[in-house]
Structure 1
Amino acid sequence: MTMRRMLITTVLLVGWSAAAVQAQDDILPASVIFATSTGYWEDDGNSPTVERAPAGAETTAKTGEKGAQRHGYYKLFAVRQPDRTSKIYLQQIAQAEAGPAIVSTIELQEFSDLKPYVTDIRPENSTGIIKQPGLFATVYLKTDPAAEPNGWTVLIDEFGDITVEKATN
């Protein structure tokens, strides 16, 4: 291999490596501090997406093929705000042939109203096997940075109704 060819190969490899590192950095924003994928849902394609956000909350939905059988899981994640508090979002993810696809994203306003400092998000079951439709996850948060965290549950029943409440032990 000539010196020129080695130099060109080296430059190309360095460029590809830098592009790969840049692409990895852009996968998940630094402001997403906790996330869990859990739960299970299915429908006939005619059911509405998860839409429950009270007035003033962000909601986005992507429509899919109506009438086609759909199924998937939920993703619950916390996004840190500039003031160090967090907003909690719930996504409905469809398992499609081409890979996972976001069906809807909503902000859980009950958490935003608390202006929480989120310390953890945990699913009910970490085995990855969910046999019944719905979601159960616990969000650990503080409303004062010096306080001990409290658990709050996010529950989605088999009908898609969402409940957010302080955990009781």
Structure 2
Amino acid sequence: MQRFPRLGRILARRPRPASLLAAGTAVIILGGLGTIGASDATPADFAPKGDTVTAYNDGWVDGRADLMGDDNRDGYVDEDESGWDCATMGNRECGTDTSAQCRGESEFADLCATVAKRPAYAWTDDDGTPHTVAAGRKLLARIDAAPGTEEFAAGLFALDALWFEHNQP
């Protein structure tokens, strides 16, 4: 015994014109009400305001530059900036390559690399005379001895001692 015997016949009949007219009218009325009551906002109204975007972009640029070692925030790491490292800069011409300046130094290679990575600094004497010291790569280039010799090692230790004398609290 069928539970709903007439349901099959009802669904099989063709829709009546009155029901089609009622459905169409409902769609038109609801669509019109939706159009009339809709917001007149544009996508620009939902965009973040200028201060928020500017702060986000400034933070992004500063964070990226700090990560790269880009001191002047121009998007490129130049030889005179803290992020410059010839070993990781690809096929660029490295006239001040740390590995080239320390090549041949086996006993104190770590100290040589440490001195080469140090930035330029300055200090003032007790009598008010200012002194400036170049970056480590430039100081290594000024040592008149070949890496691996006792004179080069003595120069490394002198540069290291000078840096500690003026940069440690």
* TMscore range, shorter length: under 0.3
Structure 1 length-normalised TM: 0.28
Q: TM-score, normalised by structure 2?
A: 0.28
Compare relative contact order (CA 8 Å, sep 6+) and give the higher one, 1 or 2: 1
Work out which of the two has the higher radius of gyration on C-alpha atoms and give 1 or 2. 2
Higher strand share: 1
